[in-house]
Amino acid sequence: MVVIYLRIIEMIKVAVIDDEIYCVDVIETLLENNFPKINAVKSFTNPIEAVKEIPFLDIDILFL
């Protein structure tokens, strides 16, 4: 009997925080173009807003 194990990789949810919108755009573009299993669910340029919202987001990785 041959058992084939397939690991189903779910989407990895990330948030991006940077004070420069250009840097946020670059990170999102790099992720989108090179890592199809990564989904940027939220981006922030205001750290105070990020601190308030991050605890309520279901994310796996936070890019600072």
Residue type at 35 in one-letter notation: F
Q: Between vectors from CA 54 to CA 59 and to CA 23, what angle results, nearest 5°?
A: 85
Q: What pLDDT is recorded for position 10?
A: 81
What are the angstrom distances between the C-alpha of 47 and each of 13, 18, 23, 41, 60? 19, 8, 14, 16, 18
pLDDT of residue 2: 52
- Note the pLDDT tens digit of each residue in 26-51: 999 999 999 989 999 999 999 999 99
% the chain with pLDDT above 70: 86
Q: Where are the domains of the chain?
A: 12-63
pLDDT digits (tens, 9 = 90+) for 20-32: 999 999 999 999 9
Q: What is the pTM of this model?
A: 0.79
Average pLDDT over residues 3-13: 67
Instruction: For the domain made up of 12-63, give the CATH fold.
Output: Rossmann fold (3.40.50)
